Copies of this chain bind each other. A is one copy, B any other.
Amino acid sequence: MKWTALLSVAAAVVGSFLAFTQHASGHTDEKVPPNYEVQIPAGYRDWKLISVAHEAGNLNDIRAILGNDEAIKAYREEKFPFPDGTIIARLAWKYVPSEENNKVFGSEQSFVAGSPTNVQFMVKDSRRYSATGGWGFAQFTNGKPLNEAEPKPCFSCHEPAKARDFIFTHYAP
């Protein structure tokens, strides 16, 4: 990696961060209901891995939970509650068997990520989202927000994890 490439990366990181903070700290756009204000954070697909999971049943997905630098730092240092600025992204894909892999293993055992289902974000801002444990919630399918999902229902499911700052996912070492 050359320094020029590195500086590009650095610039992208700073840009993403500024883009986010501008949004998060800006005045509420009157056209956007505050409940739906969480946007897709720039560069989230590049974030570090927190853990992975599989939801069977109706969801039938396989998922990865990624975190921005604040999230990863808090997880690794086990410093909870998460600081303001933390964003956690939950990506999910259809849970599909891999015939190609099964042939190699000689057994029907391999399941991989198919097409994406939706992406969810939790954004920590203890003042702005004080009514929902300090977290703003959002879900996007093909880049479009799920406007029907008010933060309250998202939050009510996360309430049992209050002792871990409303986050279920444990860091996978």
Interface residues in chain A, defined as those with a beta carbon under 8 Å from any beta carbon in chain B: 1, 3, 6-7, 9-10, 13-14, 17, 45-46, 48-49, 51-57, 59, 62-64, 66, 69, 91, 93, 95, 98, 100-101, 103-105, 107-113, 116, 157, 160-161, 168-170, 172-173
- Identical chains bound together, number: 2
Q: Are A112 and B170 in contact (CB under 8 A)?
A: yes
Given A109-B55, A110-B53: A173 and B62 interface contact (C-beta under 8 Å): no
Partner of A53 from the list B46, B53, B98 (CB cut-off 8 Å) is: B98
Contact sample, A vs B, 21 pairs, CB 8 Å cutoff: A1-B13, A3-B14, A6-B13, A6-B14, A7-B10, A9-B13, A45-B49, A52-B93, A52-B112, A52-B113, A53-B101, A53-B111, A53-B112, A59-B109, A64-B64, A64-B172, A100-B168, A103-B160, A104-B157, A112-B170, A116-B172
The smallest beta-carbon distance between A86 and chain B, in angstroms, is 13
- Which chain B residues border A6 with CB–CB below 8 Å? 10, 13-14
Q: Are A51 and B112 in contact (CB under 8 A)?
A: yes
- Which chain B residues border A111 with CB–CB below 8 Å? 53-56
Q: Which chain B residue shows the least CB distance to A161?
A: B100
Residue picked from A104, A160, A172, most chain B C-beta under 10 Å: A172
CA distance A1 to B10 in the complex (A): 11
- Which chain B residues border A112 with CB–CB below 8 Å? 51-54, 169-170
- Which chain B residues border A7 with CB–CB below 8 Å? 10
